[in-house]
Amino acid sequence: MLKILKYSFYDLIRSRWTYSYGGFYLLFTLSLLWLSNDLSKVVISLMNVVLLLCPLIATMFGVMYYYNSREFTELLLAQPVRRTSIFLGQYLGVAGSLSASWIIGVGVPFALYGVFGSEQAGNFAMLLFVGVVLSFVFSAMAFFIALKNENRIKGFGLAILAWLFFAVIYDGLLLLSLSLLTEYPLEKFSLIASMLNPIDLSRILILLKLDVSALMGFTGAVFRKFLGTGLGMGVAFAVLGLWVVGPVMGIRRVAGRKDF
């Protein structure tokens, strides 16, 4: 698996797409830092972009990479390698190169502005972490969907739909249900519902870290109370972990049964 990972990573870090993706973050972060010297504001602005963009790009990239390397995968399948290692290796290559673009694109400007050693270092680390996790979650989902669907257009459509669901539709449904059920105590419900969406969970983790949860009103206080504890944080990280593990297990299962 590590060998496959190594070479798909080599392949990907030389692709134009990886460069443009990293370059975009670089320029974007630099211009944000140039406009405002308040690091915590920049972290929040970046968060708003990243929560949508990281998942979107990871989804597109994952699907594209899988379909583009299909013939090459066939060649690998004829080698004495275990099936699941091929797909997990490729997946980790995609997720790894996306994370590398993200870390370098955002990390370099922040490092130049001296984030390390300032009191914003922790918040920034959380932002970086969340971007990496979201890349891993959504590229795994994309790989799983692509493996399931032989038809590229259908695969692409479903993957984008999955992204749209988690990025937009889920929140809409959540808000709708909250406003319809205002009569009932909904703290637990909204807490659990937010936990079940990796994008929402990431947003909450950053906001809590930034200590601006007061902005979220009463629910924010509930979140603060739960996630402020060691247990709450542990649960949040575990759920994020599950969001990676789940699709990866799916990839393993589908890859083991598929005909090529």
Q: Under the rule (CB under 8 A), what is the footprint of another protein?
A: 3, 7-8, 10-12, 14-15, 69-72, 74-83, 257, 259-260
Question: Least distance (Å) from another protein to the CB of residue 246?
Answer: 24
Q: Between 70 and 188, name the residue whose CB sits nearer to another protein.
A: 70
Closest separation between CB of residue 10 and another protein, Å? 6
* Residues 215 and 223: beta-carbon distance below 8 Å: no
Query: Quick one: 7 or 189, whose CB is closer to another protein?
Result: 7
Q: How far is the CB of 64 from another protein (least distance, A)?
A: 12
Q: Give the span between the Cα atoms of 147 and 86, in whole angstroms.
A: 13
Query: Exposure pattern of 205-215 as b/e (b: 16+ CB <10 Å)?
Result: bbbbbbeebee
Report the chain's terminal Cα–Cα distance, integer Å. Answer: 19
- Residue closer to another protein (CB basis): 119 or 259: 259
Residue among 183 and 259 whose Cβ is closer to another protein: 259
Q: Are 70 and 90 in contact (CB under 8 A)?
A: no
Q: Which is nearer to another protein, 183 or 257 (CB)?
A: 257
For residue 35, the minimal CB distance to another protein (Å) is: 35
CB of 103 closer than 8 Å to CB of 132: yes
Q: What gap in Å lies between CA 29 and CA 109, rounded to an integer?
A: 7
Sequence-separated contacts (24+) of 221-227 with Cβ below 8 Å: 222/187, 222/190, 222/191, 223/191, 223/194, 226/191
Find the shortest distance in angstroms from Cβ 96 to another protein: 15
Q: Which whole-number Å values give the CA distances from 168 to 103, 173, 175, in the listed order? A: 25, 9, 11
Do 40 and 121 touch, CB atoms closer than 8 A?
A: no
Minimum CB distance to another protein smaller for 23 or for 107: 23
Closest approach of another protein to the CB of residue 154, in Å: 15
Least distance from another protein to the Cβ atom of residue 253, Å: 13
Judged by CB, which is closer to another protein: 80, or 117?
80
